[in-house]
Chains A and B, each alone.
Chain A
């Protein structure tokens, strides 16, 4: 192949590929790679491309890595301490304190609610509604008592007296 090497479909270029395969330091170059480099260098245009790519890589390879500041580890340690302290609260030995705190908060919330919201007589949950319910319960109990008495009468074979049975609700009324 002569002249310009067209990049393949992925946009890759064999000259750049070869340059990237050259190890960063003065390491050993693979014989197959050395052969490939020699082939590229036979073409002046591709040789120039390879040379510029290798020079760019040499600059990049020589860049030193940034040094972390001495404060980085210390600042992180402080943040980790904070996290540990917060998570310690959820450990089992703090359970009693958590319960006590939770109950205190609940008691305070109930107290505040009673102070802030006075009982409303018109409310469906208020005393008026409660009285009606109580009356209804009493009536029900009374009815039950009557029917229990009926059962007893039935056992005593006095159910023939229908008038008696009919008179019972009237008495109630």
Chain B
């Protein structure tokens, strides 16, 4: 099996502790990992802290097995960091006093900035985005890893430490929840259904 380029870089970094090699990896994955982390935590300040934690773990890694794709390994590290944060009892409380609006109303990506205007209106977009935020973290993560990151089910299964069939199920349930939101928005007579965790 061919080792991917970033896995080779990581192997080199673990051997040499060359900071430049690490910085190359950081620059490449900083944004996708931030996006991934933001799928788990709504607060941007907490998300950036977690991104730091992810890359600190990468930096202090003593052993790295190059047989996996670096991206998959990195997403797994990030997922573990996020799930640990979600398990913490004070999750979401620490930043309330600093930035209450940030926690109570999750930071959604600006819809005005969306380049693609295939959807009908701002209201529908807002409803779908809000429904997306309400999805269980793993469901949301799996769904967005497919749509935004273009990851395969196998890669996501490895990153989320679950089975391929579980990933498929998570993705379908997420889409079904969003689809129902669109259906309710376009046909208000239909009963509103909550996402199944």
Residues of A within 8 A of B (CB): 7, 10-13, 16-17, 19-20, 24-25, 48-49, 52-53, 55-69, 71-73, 75-76, 79-80, 83-84
Contact yes or no, A72 B48, CB < 8 A: yes
Contacts of B19 in A (CB 8 A): 80, 84
Asked whether any CB of chain A lies closer than 8 Å to the CB of B44, the reply is: yes
Q: What are the 4 tightest A-B residue pairs by CB atom distance, in nearest-first order?
A: A56-B178, A62-B114, A59-B128, A62-B116
Contact yes or no, B168 A12, CB < 8 A: yes
For the complex, give the distance between the alpha carbons of A80 and B61 in Å: 13
Residues of B within 8 A of A (CB): 19, 22, 26, 30-32, 34-35, 38, 44, 47-48, 51-52, 55-56, 59-60, 107, 109-111, 113-120, 124-125, 128-129, 132, 143-144, 146-148, 165, 168-169, 171-173, 175-176, 178-183, 186
Contact yes or no, B60 A76, CB < 8 A: no
Contact yes or no, A13 B172, CB < 8 A: yes
- Taking CB as reference atom, which chain A residue is nearest B196? A11
Q: Which of B31, B129, B178, B181 neighbours the largest number of chain A CB atoms within 10 Å of its CB?
A: B178
Contact of A55 among B32, B47, B119, B171 (CB under 8 A): B119
Contact yes or no, B176 A60, CB < 8 A: no
Contact of B114 among A48, A63, A71 (CB under 8 A): A63
- Taking CB as reference atom, which chain A residue is nearest B51? A72
Contact yes or no, A76 B147, CB < 8 A: no
Contact of B118 among A62, A73, A79 (CB under 8 A): A62
- 20 contacting pairs across A/B (C-beta < 8 A): A52-B179, A52-B182, A52-B183, A56-B175, A58-B119, A59-B119, A59-B129, A60-B144, A60-B147, A61-B116, A62-B111, A62-B114, A62-B115, A63-B129, A65-B35, A66-B31, A68-B30, A68-B34, A80-B59, A83-B59
For the complex, give the distance between the alpha carbons of A61 and B175 in Å: 12
Contact yes or no, B175 A52, CB < 8 A: no
For the complex, give the distance between the alpha carbons of A62 and B182 in Å: 15
Contacts of B183 in A (CB 8 A): 48, 52
Q: How far is the CB of B163 from chain A (nearest CB, A)?
A: 10
Contact yes or no, A12 B172, CB < 8 A: yes
Contacts of A16 in B (CB 8 A): 172, 175-176, 179
For the complex, give the distance between the alpha carbons of A73 and B177 in Å: 36
Contact yes or no, B48 A64, CB < 8 A: no
Contacts of B51 in A (CB 8 A): 68, 72
For the complex, give the distance between the alpha carbons of A63 and B125 in Å: 9
For the complex, give the distance between the alpha carbons of A113 and B165 in Å: 64
Contact yes or no, B47 A59, CB < 8 A: no
With A49-B179, A83-B60 already in contact, the answer to whether A63 and B109 are too (CB < 8 A) is yes
- Taking CB as reference atom, which chain B residue is nearest A87? B17
Q: How far is the CB of B38 from chain A (nearest CB, A)?
A: 5
